[in-house]
Amino acid sequence: MSGKTLKLIKDDPWLEPYASAIEGRHNHAIWKESELTQHGAKTLSDFASGYLYYGLHHTNDGWIFREWAPNATAIYFIGTFNNWEKNESYRLKRIENGNWEILLTEDALHHSDLYKLYIEWEGGASERIPAWCRRVVQDEKTKIFSAQVWNPDKPYKFKYEKFIPKVSPLLIYECHIGMATEEEKIGSYEEFRINVLPRVSRDGYNAIQIMAIQEHPYYGSFGYHVSSFFAASSRFGTPDELKHLIDDAHKLGIAVIMDIVHSHAVKNETEGLGRFDGTPYQYFHSDSRREHPAWDSLCFNYGKDEVIHFLLSNCKFWLEEYRFDGFRFDGVTSMLYYSHGLGENFTNYGDYYNGHQDDDAIAYLTLANRLIHKVNPTAITIAEEVSGMPGLATKFENGGYGFDYRMAMNIPDFWIKTLKEKKDEDWRPSSIWWETTNRRPDEKTISYAESHDQALVGDKTIIFWLIDANMYWHMQVSDNNAAVERGMALHKMIRLVTASTINGGYLNFMGNEFGHPEWIDFPREGNNWSCKYARRQWNLADNSDLKYHFLEDFDKAMLKLIRNVRNFQATPIQKVWDNDGDQILAYMRQDLLFVFNFNPTRSFTDYGFLSPVGKYTVVLNTDAKDFGGNNLNDDKIEHFTQSDPLYESEKKGWLKLYVPARSALVLKRK
């Protein structure tokens, strides 16, 4: 087969010079799947069932535990049941392929018992938390982590097992369970289920993307330094409570996407996989590639079948055990390149096919997507990837890596750069149009105005860049403040132009829809372990005397508009007009006309441009009183195109509108 026969290349002739490289990666993934499935003797799903074999399992005869530790010379099962002491009756037996096993009687272990492994190897020994364990807890006094037996008498049973996401378009509410509470503490799965899920549903989002699910020793890592890949973080509650949360989300029609971290692992040895069996290379690289130069973490060796087995099984586990509806893969750029993308420019196609790419990691990501969609055909996969690697979100059979979406990471970068470096009068609609619509036509993207990273200490959210300290003193509805009015106007416009130009989906980070003030600062030694800034102040948006609710009300109206158009994300988007001098941008999607005036001072009367002939009525206005605007337009007025003989054959006429400064209108053509 020639690489030029792949649809990825047919759709983009500029990729033809790299056809052999694209074909090579494609065939490498095919070969790897064939090798892992014993040339078709079993399925990829069969291969990815390690979680059913390894770890602790309750059986009809008692308990069985297995672990893979090829360098170990002896392994002991220790815990609260034997006073954490080495005991020959709890010594594991070595079986084939570096695996270890122990059979225990029914009364040897009980629900909530704590346990670890004591692993010995040539020249050393240490306690370890099992790699495949499903529950890890931290002692409040000693801060020590241990695995925990989880075998409740009445485990949670799903009520909505065959949930099918209706995500056209995909509207994601990105969230963090621990900081979703208003109190100065770590929030729980139960609190999120009861208090936040209904809010997400009311606001119009059809998916939540949950961060920090996989267990991590340091809370402030935002969940990105994972130690136990199969354990749902116990900081937020029990496995059953997480299942209840997911079940209730499905009841509300909300898909649940997990932020999964397979790009690296925490360096910790007593909590994580570092030197698990005494070797530095069991799961990770053994050379200079072992440690991530920027993240202070360990890099998986995707060339080892055992590592692929571990990670693919992890994908299937979260789908099967918890009924997650898909994954947002973190740090994909770091996986794709030997350099982790650090110091790379990615200015031309040659940068994607210059031999600096990790073909083993590419094969793993490809197989992960194939597995996920085989286990659950309606599952959603999203790649967080900054380099722009072609084919990432293209179907495997077309030559791609199989993700359903990729993050449009250029858009939040553009908005922050604009806010930091440009005066309002220097904003260019042509640049805004380019950044929000510049993407590969064969790949769906998730557009978003700002990332969760921008909410952390050391950076600023969009609302904070716009309003800054004025948020502390001038957010009362009765207070007229120029900085606040400017900030709220641009906050709405930025979100509208970002959300209305999607070709796949739209994402918002929890609280940013109403302009949550201040930064995120997780509890740490430097702030006396305070949760004051690691929470969400929902009361601000619920207080009718404050202006925050105007932003949330607009966000809700914007999403309702988008959801009311069938397959909105797939409708053609056509630029109608842009003028950098006037700072006006207009475009259409089906019968919706979006008109933006980014000019900070000039309002335009009878501003005209050619539009499809018809009658237009205003269906959304960022300047409306209901959204905290100046209400300068009469939205009840109907607008008619004026005929022009020169454009009658094109069925176009002149539409003339009053467009106030710093405002946007959405009109519907009838």
- Residues annotated as catalytic (active site), given as ranges: 330, 384
Listed in order, strand segments (DSSP E) in 228-387 are 228-232, 255-260, 265-266, 297-298, 326-329, 380-383
Cα 52 from Cα 108, distance rounded (Å)? 21
Hey, how many other C-beta atoms are within 10 angstroms of the C-beta on 625?
12
- Say if residues 112 and 240 touch (Cβ distance below 8 Å): no
Tokens in use for 548? 């925050």
Cα 147 from Cα 140, distance rounded (Å)? 14
Q: What is the DSSP string of 592-661?
A: EEEEEE--SS--EEEEEEEEESSEEEEEEETTSGGGTS---S-TT--EEPEE-GGGGGGTEEEEEEEE-T
**Number of helices followed by number of strands (H, E) in the chain:** 15, 30
Cα 377 from Cα 161, distance rounded (Å)? 14
**Cα four-point dihedral sign 39, 41, 42, 47:** negative
What is the three-class DSSP state of 118? Answer: strand
- Say if residues 354 and 337 touch (Cβ distance below 8 Å): no
What is the three-class DSSP state of 495? Answer: helix
Cα 498 from Cα 448, distance rounded (Å)? 6
Which residues, 6+ apart, have CB-to-CB distance to 243 below 8 Å? 156, 158, 322, 323
